[in-house]
Amino acid sequence: MWSSKSERVEVKVDEKSFEEKVCDVLVIGGGGAGLRAAIEAHDKKANTLVVCKSLLGKAHTVMAEGGIAAALGNVDPEDGWQVHFSDTIVEGQYLSNWRMAEIFAKEAIERVYELERYGALFDRTPEGKISQRPFGAHTYRRLCHIGDRTGLELIRTLEDQVIARGIPFMDEVMVTSIIKDGGGGRAAAALGIDIRTGMLILFRFKAVILATGGCGKVYEVTSNSYESTGDGVSMAYRAGAELMDMEMIQFHPTGMIYPAGVRGMLVTEAVRGEGGILTNAKGERFMTKYDPKRMELSARDVVARAIYSEIVAGRGTKNGAVYLDISHRGADYIKKKLPSMYDQFLEFAGVDITKERMEVAPTVHYQMGGVRVDPETGETSVRGIYAAGEVASGLHGGNRLGGNSLSDILVFGRRAGGAAADVAAGMDVPEFDRKELESEVGRVLSPFSSAGNANPFYLKEAIAKNMWKHVGIMRNEADLTAGLKELEAISTEARKSKAVGARAYNQSWLDTLQVWDMILVSEAIIRSALERKESRGAHTRSDFPEKSEEWLMNIITVQKGEKMTHELRPVPKLPPELAALIKE
Ligand SMILES: Cc1cc2nc3c(=O)[nH]c(=O)nc-3n(C[C@H](O)[C@H](O)[C@H](O)COP(=O)(O)OP(=O)(O)OC[C@H]3O[C@@H](n4cnc5c(N)ncnc54)[C@H](O)[C@@H]3O)c2cc1C
């Protein structure tokens, strides 16, 4: 549908066409994964450069609320990496890469202590240890937190470290494409736009790390920030890298429902972790039907489906939601443990959560799928391209546990940074393919010479509405096929998308390029969802309601010629010593 050869204009480039920057390791993304990767690469003596499309410190990670999962055992001494490993595999519905889960569960502990050494101020237990709260489907109390502003403290701390080390960064730079070397086998350069001036920048490097976050903005109702348009997944795919399990999109059970402007905004799982109770419009505590043992602290996919089912069955509120109540914990406790939630509801919805119930409904929150990476190094299937954080796949399988992303971005950000620096130490900056660069410059500038006048802002909206309508919590072949058809129509329109005005701060230009990425990512999600003919984790098919052993497969998406193709690959089998740790 959307090919990497779509819409180009002929250009010849010379040294005046762009500014050139050369480094050993280029890190694309200033979220937790990108910053931790940059620290590691720099500490391993690689000349490292960070670029991000918003301002440094504003990355999506800053929004993280509930906490960071690591089996410190501070509150529940029985906890250990082995239990965290088991929880991650079981709740990932056995699609996770076991080696990634093992590395993750073991190393998350040290990454949290390291963050503390870097200066993060965690909430404390009465004895002065890092405090840990319960979260859905974690066997023990495991989420280290700073009230409900954990992401803010994480980013602040890492940013301090980056600045203290003098690691150079360029913000408000949107990278659009990876360029290969002459032989086409290795990544050699990246093309970017300086958003402030509209000038093109050519980054030349020995290795590049994609830490570009997720793609939640391809959905209408989402907790994600405006940045999450799936650029990294699209760039990697266009450069020939394999994607994996793109159908696995997490619907968080609790998003705000009104006012319209904040629909989808996250209501952190910490509300349920701190004792929040879900009821339907009839006042029934409905989780007794769906998971009587774990109740509100069941896995996210289970709670999201439960809320969805209550609403569809007509037991929702007038606003199409259910109630979440934390008021029984008392005003002082709520204001201390959930200060952002208190402010958010009071300011946006006029609801005082210390006295009143919240109305909540599912919202798109996270991509479990993404670029396929090597578990040890984060290298993708294209040499020289590494990926870490939400853009990468493999750890969370069919359903991510709350809190596992913040530890994921530190563990695998650090690993990717280290591996990229090691590779860079033994090589020269490769030559890039000039023809490929010219072709990419042509693609990137083509919106200015478009004969059409389609407005990319409306196209973004059309993509998001289509995905919400046809590729939601409950899927089936007819809806998915209709979604693909509608996406094709949007894609035809998108070829006529036009950038108007000068290049500096030109939102219509940036939006057009993002629309193209969003179409590609949406197509990968829909086609993978059509491919997986079973219900597993976040992917529920009403026409294939059972989970099937035969489907213990990762779905690989890769470009062959101009075609998006799929391959089923059996999930690597757990070795016996790790299989022995699994407790359902
Ligand atoms: C409201 C909310 C609350 C959450 N709470 C928690 C929680 O409590 N615990 C938990 O574990 N997880 C939580 N999550 C999930 C978690 O925050 C994210 O998965 C995680 O922060 C992703 O980090 P990242 O470094 O991979 O990407 P991001 O933080 O998304 O950073 C991506 C970076 O890439 C840059 N970028 C993107 N595209 C380009 C481009 N084309 N060119 C240049 N730069 C680019 C962006 O500017 C940004 O700097 C929450 C998510 C949300 C939305």
Beta carbons within 10 angstroms of residue 81's beta carbon = 20
Please check whether residue 152 is in contact with residue 160, taking contact to mean a CB–CB distance below 8 angstroms.
Answer: no
C-alpha 367 to ligand 1 mean position (Å) = 11
**pLDDT tens across 65-90, in order?**
899 999 999 999 999 999 999 999 99
Closest CA to 373 of 416, 331, 336: 416
pLDDT at 3 over 70: no
Ligand 1 centre from 558 Cα, in Å? 24
DSSP state of 348: I
At residue 324, the pLDDT reads: 97
Q: What CATH number has the domain spanning 444-547? A: 1.20.58.100
Angstrom distance (rounded) from CA 152 to CA 59: 10
Does 497 sit in the ligand 1 pocket, CB within 6 Å? no
Pairing of strands 563-570, 243-244: unpaired
Q: Between the CA atoms of 172, 34, 148 and 398, what dihedral angle is there, to the nearest 10 degrees?
A: 120
Q: What pLDDT, on a 0 to 100 scale, did the predictor assign at position 536?
A: 97
Answer yes or no: is pLDDT of 265 > 90: yes
Report the separation in Å between the CA atom of 566 and the middle of ligand 1, taken as the mean of its atom positions: 27
Q: What is the pLDDT of residue 453?
A: 87
Atom of ligand 1 nearest to the CA of 270: 8
**Closest residue (by CA) to atom 37 of ligand 1?**
212
**What separation in angstroms does the CA of 387 have from each of 222, 382, 557, 569?**
23, 11, 16, 20
What mean pLDDT do residues 364-369 have? Answer: 97
- The structure tokens 């890092």 sit at 130
Q: Give the H/E segment covering residue 170.
A: strand 169-171
Kindly state if the Cβ of 65 falls inside 6 Å of ligand 1.
yes
CB of 211 closer than 6 angstroms to any ligand 1 atom: yes
Number of H helices, E strands in the chain: 16, 22
> Does residue 266's CB lie within 6 angstroms of at least one atom of ligand 1?
yes
* Chain segment 367-403, per-residue pLDDT in tens: 999 999 999 999 999 999 999 999 999 999 999 999 9
SS (H, E, C) 510-562: HHHHHHHHHHHHHHHHHHHHHHCCCCECCEEECCECCCCHHHCEEEEEEEECC
Amino acid at 464: A
Cβ-count burial of 173 within 10 angstroms (0-12 exposed, 13-18 middle, 19+ buried)? buried
Residue to probe by mutation, ligand 1, list 172, 405, 518, most atoms within 8 Å of CB = 405
CB neighbours (10 Å) of residue 340?
16
CB-CB contact of 424 with 83 (8 Å): no
Percent of the chain with pLDDT over 90: 92
pLDDT-based confidence at 1, cuts 50/70/90? Answer: confident
Which numbered atom of ligand 1 lies nearest the CA of 52?
A: 44
Chain-centre distance for alpha carbon 170:
22
Torsion angle in degrees (nearest 10) through CA of 365, 368, 372, 377: 90
Alpha carbons 277 and 256: distance in angstroms, whole number: 16
Q: How many CA atoms lie within 13 A of 305 on its CB side?
A: 19
Which residues, 6+ apart, have CB-to-CB distance to 147 below 8 Å?
123, 336, 337, 338, 339, 340
**Triad 392, 64, 216: Cα angle to 5°:** 50
Closest Cα to residue 193, out of 424, 457, 443? 443
Please work out whether the CB of residue 514 comes within 6 Å of at least one atom of ligand 1: no
- Ligand 1 proximity of 145 Cβ (cutoff 6 Å): no
Residues 304-321 have pLDDT tens digits of: 999 999 999 999 999 999
CB of 28 closer than 6 angstroms to any ligand 1 atom:
yes
From CA 229, how far away is CA 249, in angstroms rounded?
14
Measured by CA distance, the residue closest to atom 14 of ligand 1 is 64
CA–CA gap between residue 38 and residue 168 (Å, rounded)? 10
Contact 67, 150 (CB under 8 A): yes
Top mutation candidate among 84, 155, 201, 212 for ligand 1, by most atoms within 8 Å of CB = 212
d(CA 518, CA 241): 17
Distances, alpha carbon 449 to alpha carbons 1, 191, 200, 496, 500, in Å: 22, 19, 17, 10, 9
Confidence of residue 2 (pLDDT cuts 50, 70, 90): low
547 CA to centre of ligand 1 in angstroms: 30
State which of 173, 208, 227, 521 you would mutate to test the pocket of ligand 1, scoring each by most atoms of that ligand within 8 A of its C-beta.
Answer: 227
Task: State the closest ligand 1 atom to the C-alpha of 404, by its place in the atom list counted from 1.
Answer: 11
Q: Residue 5: CB partners within 8 Å, gap ≥ 6?
A: 439, 562
Residue 7: what pLDDT? 57
The atom number, within ligand 1, closest to the CA of 266 reads: 1
Q: How many CB atoms lie within 10 A of CB 63?
A: 20
Q: Which atom of ligand 1 is nearest to the CA of 391?
A: 26
Q: Where in the chain is the domain with CATH 1.20.58.100?
A: 444-547
Residue 176 Cα: closest atom of ligand 1? 41
Burial of residue 232, with CB atoms counted within 10 A of its CB: 0-12 exposed, 13-18 middle, 19 or more buried: buried
Give 52's strand partners.
171
CATH 3.90.700.10, the chain: domain bounds: 253-364
Q: Which amino acid is at 144?
A: C
Three-state SS sequence of 391-405 = HECCCCCCCCCCCHH
548 CA distance to ligand 1 middle (Å)? 32
- pLDDT surpasses 70 at 108: yes
Which numbered atom of ligand 1 lies nearest the CA of 408?
Answer: 11
CATH code 3.50.50.60 for 253-364: no
Compute the distance between CA of residue 28 and CA of residue 9 in angstroms, rounded to an integer.
26
183 pLDDT band, cuts 50/70/90, is confident
How long is the chain? 584
Q: What is the C-alpha separation between 214 and 227, in angstroms, rounded?
A: 9
* pLDDT, position 584: 84
pLDDT value, residue 441: 94
Residue 213 Cα, ligand 1 centroid: separation in angstroms? 5
> Residues 394, 144, 142, 362: is their CA dihedral positive or negative?
negative
What does the pLDDT average to over 116-136? Answer: 95
Atom from ligand 1 closest to the CA of residue 389: 26
User: What's the CA gap between 518 and 219, in Å, rounded?
Assistant: 10
How is 176-193 classified by DSSP, letter by letter? EEEEEBTTSSBEEEEEEE
Tokens read off for 151: 């992401």
Whether ligand 1 lies within 6 angstroms of the CB of 60 is answered as: yes
| Pair 433, 179: CB distance under 8 Å | yes
pLDDT, one tens digit per residue, over 415-468 is 999 999 999 999 999 999 999 999 999 999 999 998 888 999 999 999 999 999
Taking the centre of ligand 1 as the mean of its atom positions, its distance from the CA of residue 18, in whole angstroms, is 29
pLDDT score at 6: 53
Q: Where are the alpha helices (DSSP H) in 318-364?
A: 331-337, 339-344
C-alpha distance across the termini of the chain, in Å: 41
The answer to whether 566 touches 559, Cβ cutoff 8 Å, is: no
Catalytic (active-site) positions: 252, 272
Q: Where are the alpha helices (DSSP H) in 369-452?
A: 404-425, 434-445
Cβ of residue 215 lying under 6 Å from some atom of ligand 1: no
Using a 10 angstrom Cβ sphere, with 0-12 exposed, 13-18 middle and 19 or more buried, the burial of residue 547 is middle
Query: Residue 120 Cα, ligand 1 centroid: separation in angstroms?
Result: 18
Tell whether ligand 1 has an atom less than 6 A from the beta carbon of residue 375: no
**With bands split at pLDDT 50, 70 and 90, how would you rate the model's confidence at 5?**
low
pLDDT tens figures, 189-238: 999 999 999 999 999 999 999 999 999 999 999 999 999 999 999 999 99
Q: How far is CA 355 from CA 21, 335, 351, in A?
A: 55, 12, 8
Atom 11 in ligand 1: residue holding the nearest Cα:
403
Average pLDDT, the chain: 95
Q: Give this prediction's pTM.
A: 0.96
Pocket lining: 405 vs ligand 1, CB cutoff 6 Å: yes
Share of the chain above pLDDT 70, in %: 98
The whole-number pLDDT of residue 222 equals 97
pLDDT single digits (tens) 539-553: 999 999 999 999 999
Asked whether residue 270 carries a pLDDT value surpassing 70, the answer given is yes
